[in-house]
Amino acid sequence: MDNGMKELIIDETIHYVSRRTFLKTAVGAASILGAPGNPAMAAQPQAIVPTRPFGKTGIDVPILSFGGSLSTSLSTLLLRQAVKWGVTYWDTANTYMGGRSEKGMGKYFEKYPADRKRIFLVTKSHAWTTEGMSEDLNLSLERMQTDYIDLYFMHSVSSSSELTADKKAWAEKMKTEGKIRLFGFSTHSNMEECMLAASGLGWIDGIMMRYNYRLMHTDDMRSAMDKCARAGIGLTAMKSQGGGQVKTDSEIELKLAGRFMNKGFTDAQAKLKAVWEHPNIASICTEMPNMTQLMANVAAALNRRKLSAREVNLLRQYARETRSDYCTGCSAICESAVDSDIPIGDVMRYLMYARSYGDRHRAKTGFQTIPADIRSRMQGQNYNQAEQRCPQNIAIGSLMREALKELG
């Protein structure tokens, strides 16, 4: 093809990607899904992503979840292909893309109403009160043109104090009314504390937390996951690539990528496989904004080859080498060391969106939600004590000031 482009044909939809992107994706996908556009592919049975039990809820979910920050005109076609490959766990939130994400899923259900029963549908509320949660839920139901949500999350819980009796009563009421089937929360900060608290409550059905090759080896995370599993809570991993606030191009990163490419998959696919190694991870939620990304992730889910001990050690070595580039979300430690209520953990997450995800709009939108008076104090704040306490040895002060310049 002209200009070194490759034509990627899936489900009668044509997308053009760069030769480099195509080759990186094809290495990990072609042998499993068949060469895209190959007539022989049509004669083969459709590949379906495997499933796992979602805790002790009695529901099986695909090990790959579609992270729904949808905003393109091709969203219906993308979701259609996801269904055909068995990616039927869909995750979104009331606030994603200003509501366009939920509306995109609603358009899909309008066109394919029979598929609603096949989808494990998840959305979230960022409201701090049960009244606000009710408003968010009703709006979500309307946008997505559905009568119920399979799993409803409180979004971004950062303290066990947020898991209150009135939230429990609200969840039970919504279940009785048939508006939700299951209830839980997502968490980015102080995750282990929140998970441990939830494991003893008896009314949390599911949790979505950051979990990746950097976090999986810590004693606190292993303990929290084990207790949640024993309590029957379904666990969904997010932020599975372990992208940090500082972009690095180290020799070990290149070695890492090269080794995995030689084994038939990309380093990104290897990071997914590392997460699936834990049997209590029911699913990985990841954004898949285009067909290329969807195909690559599905290929990783279908590839039954386990990572070797050497490959796992490479990931651990890379995590150790770049530990000061990645915030693990233990914000209670650093935030308690500053004299102001600066949300260090949130700022770190917004930097990650900008630098690791390349999503500056999402990063800047999130950063602007921090009250102006707090942002004004960020520049002059002394972060020395916070940096001394940080288990990752992160240069917190420098990153806070860089966030002001990049996202302010």
- Give me the CATH number covering residue 69: 3.20.20.100
Place of tokens 């049975």: 45
Name the band, by pLDDT with cuts 50, 70 and 90, for residue 246. confident
pLDDT of residue 362: 85
Tokens of 34: 């068949």
On whether residue 127 sits in a domain, the answer given is yes
Looking at the structure, tell me whether residues 205 and 122 fall in a common domain. yes
Running DSSP on this structure, what letter comes out for residue 118?
G
On whether residue 321 sits in a domain, the answer given is no
On whether residue 150 sits in a domain, the answer given is yes
pLDDT of residue 28: 45
Looking at the structure, tell me whether residues 158 and 286 fall in a common domain. yes
pLDDT of residue 244: 79
On whether residue 203 sits in a domain, the answer given is yes
On whether residue 21 sits in a domain, the answer given is no
The answer on pLDDT for 126 being more than 50 is: yes
On whether residue 9 sits in a domain, the answer given is no
Looking at the structure, tell me whether residues 307 and 388 fall in a common domain. no
Looking at the structure, tell me whether residues 163 and 243 fall in a common domain. yes
Domain range spanning residue 258? 47-315
Q: Which residue has the higher pLDDT, 4 or 192?
A: 192
The answer on pLDDT for 208 being more than 50 is: yes
The answer on pLDDT for 234 being more than 80 is: yes
pLDDT of residue 25: 45
pLDDT winner (highest mean) among 234-238, 263-267, 307-311, 346-350: 234-238
On whether residue 320 sits in a domain, the answer given is no
Report the C-alpha gap between 85 and 49 in whole angstroms. 6
The answer on pLDDT for 296 being more than 50 is: yes
Looking at the structure, tell me whether residues 243 and 348 fall in a common domain. no
Looking at the structure, tell me whether residues 199 and 219 fall in a common domain. yes
* 54-111 residue pLDDT tens: 999 999 999 999 997 776 666 899 999 999 999 999 999 998 888 889 999 999 999 9
The answer on pLDDT for 200 being more than 90 is: yes
pLDDT of residue 21: 42
Name the band, by pLDDT with cuts 50, 70 and 90, for residue 361. confident
Share of residues in the chain with pLDDT > 90 (%): 67
Report the C-alpha gap between 390 and 393 in whole angstroms. 5
Looking at the structure, tell me whether residues 200 and 175 fall in a common domain. yes
What SS3 class is residue 312? Answer: helix
The answer on pLDDT for 23 being more than 80 is: no
Choice among 45-49, 111-115, 191-195 with the minimum mean pLDDT: 45-49
Looking at the structure, tell me whether residues 95 and 194 fall in a common domain. yes
pLDDT of residue 358: 83
Type of residue found at 14: I
Instruction: State which of 282, 315, 348 marks the end of a domain.
Output: 315
pLDDT of residue 39: 39
Share of residues in the chain with pLDDT > 70 (%): 86
pLDDT of residue 8: 31
The partner residues of 62 in beta bridges, in order of sequence, read 51
Running DSSP on this structure, what letter comes out for residue 130?
H
pLDDT of residue 389: 96
On whether residue 4 sits in a domain, the answer given is no
Type of residue found at 277: E
Q: What average pLDDT does the chain have?
A: 86
Instruction: State which of 264, 287, 315 marks the end of a domain.
Output: 315
The domain total for the chain is: 2
* 31-53 residue pLDDT tens: 445 444 433 334 445 689 999 99
Looking at the structure, tell me whether residues 298 and 350 fall in a common domain. no
126: closest CA among 118, 117, 135? 135
Choice among 44-53, 192-201, 359-368 with the minimum mean pLDDT: 44-53
- Answer yes or no: are the C-beta atoms of 228 and 195 closer than 8 Å: yes
State pTM to two decimals. 0.84
Instruction: State which of 315, 345, 367 marks the end of a domain.
Output: 315
Name the band, by pLDDT with cuts 50, 70 and 90, for residue 251. low
- Answer yes or no: are the C-beta atoms of 260 and 251 closer than 8 Å: no
Looking at the structure, tell me whether residues 266 and 350 fall in a common domain. no
Looking at the structure, tell me whether residues 291 and 347 fall in a common domain. no
What is the rounded average pLDDT of the residues 286-309? Answer: 92
The partner residues of 186 in beta bridges, in order of sequence, read 208
Looking at the structure, tell me whether residues 283 and 335 fall in a common domain. no
What is the rounded average pLDDT of the residues 118-126? Answer: 97
